[in-house]
Amino acid sequence: MTALLEVKNLTVNFRIGSAMAARLRGQPPPDLKAVDNVSFEVERSESVGIVGESGCGKSTIAKAIVGLVPISAGSVELEGQPLTEKRDQATTRRIQMVFQDPGSSLNPSLTVERTLAELLTVHKIVPKKEVPERCGELMDLVELPRSLLRAYPKRMSGGQRQRVGIARALALNPEILIADESVAALDVSVQAPILNLFNALRRDLGLTVLFISHDLAVVRHVSNRVVVVYLGTVMEDGPTEQVFNDPRHPYTRALMAAAPKFGVKKEPGKSALTGEPPSALDLPSGCRFRTRCPLAQDICAEKEPGLVESETDAEHLVACHFGWTEPPA
């Protein structure tokens, strides 16, 4: 059975700097590999969390899936059909995105009703005379009062705006919802019900959700599978409970150790990870995490580890030479 969404060896390069200057120096034009050979599958009604630090390429993966950035190599397949950057309306409708900052991603000069009605009419989702009713239903779906349909985005709170952002994505009856840091700008008391809403949408509508976040606790709450990304490649991929209870990649372990936890006091001068990620323009040889890895051995500099599944569980994959064995002391 093919998965609903399959990302196969996805690579996204960004050309940076001047190609002319490079040619004069007799070098190929510099490319920044934002996403490097990333593969994962998303089953229908699954919720997959993609976590990583800023600059690791998690948002670029999302943009490549919806077709907002060109794919340099590899493919994104929807039910086995490769998606290109140019896609027809019907395909566009199937994958929708919710952005981080609803303040800047909603048109400030349109009321909520016009924002939603425009989508419903342009994509001919419902007959014209049913548009107002459908707008109301969408508001119910995201748990907003219908009276807000006449409001402008600037009159609403951050949480309400984010709900409108979700309603806008749902207006096109998508199969896949991609949430790119959708709760990062919200206070926890507002964030909590929105996370619950994502869970409810998945449960009630059978929606497939791709949840992109830097916050491990948030991802744990909304996903049943998590993909950990570092410098454009997948480090670990597995069922949420397993990855959180028994992280196999030293990077995943360090991320978890770094996240603040209740009831733990910070020790002076101690930190889980030292240094910062190397530049994506100048990647270390072999494993790209080895410069910060507490387990690094000679082999890590020589050979880049591929994703290897666990002997006991084919769902749990780790890209580390010592993922499933103990490293030599």
By the criterion CB under 8 A, which residues form the site for other proteins? 53-54, 157-158, 187-193, 195-196, 199, 214-218, 220-222, 240, 244, 254-274, 276
Q: Which is nearer to other proteins, 90 or 264 (CB)?
A: 264
Q: Judge contact between 15 and 209, C-beta under 8 A.
A: no
Q: How far is the CB of 215 from other proteins (least distance, A)?
A: 8
Q: How far is the CB of 277 from other proteins (least distance, A)?
A: 9
Q: Which is nearer to other proteins, 173 or 196 (CB)?
A: 196
Q: Judge contact between 97 and 172, C-beta under 8 A.
A: no
Q: Which is nearer to other proteins, 131 or 293 (CB)?
A: 293
Closest CA to 160 of 175, 149, 172: 149
Measured at the CA of 86, the angle between CA 84 and CA 92, to 5 degrees, comes to 90
Question: What contacts 210, CB < 8 A, 6 or more positions away?
Answer: 5, 42, 47, 48, 50, 62, 65, 176, 177, 178, 179
| First-residue to last-residue Cα distance in the chain | 43
DSSP string, 94-111: HEEEE-S-HHHHS-TTS-
Q: How far is the CB of 26 from other proteins (least distance, A)?
A: 27
Q: Which is nearer to other proteins, 82 or 193 (CB)?
A: 193
Q: How many residues does the chain have?
A: 329
Q: Which is nearer to other proteins, 202 or 316 (CB)?
A: 202
Order of strands across the sheet that contains 95-98:
95-98, 176-180, 208-213, 47-51, 225-230, 233-239, 317-318, 308-309
Cα–Cα dist 65/43, whole Å: 15
Q: How far is the CB of 194 from other proteins (least distance, A)?
A: 8
Q: Which is nearer to other proteins, 16 or 259 (CB)?
A: 259
Q: Output phi, psi for 246, to 5 deg.
A: -140, 70
Q: How far is the CB of 299 from other proteins (least distance, A)?
A: 24
Cα–Cα dist 291/303, whole Å: 14
Q: How far is the CB of 257 from other proteins (least distance, A)?
A: 8
Q: Which is nearer to other proteins, 126 or 257 (CB)?
A: 257
Q: Which is nearer to other proteins, 1 or 264 (CB)?
A: 264
Rg (CA), the chain: 21
Q: How far is the CB of 74 from other proteins (least distance, A)?
A: 26
Q: Judge contact between 197 and 162, C-beta under 8 A.
A: no
Q: How far is the CB of 264 from other proteins (least distance, A)?
A: 6
DSSP lists the bridge partners of residue 236 as 228, 318
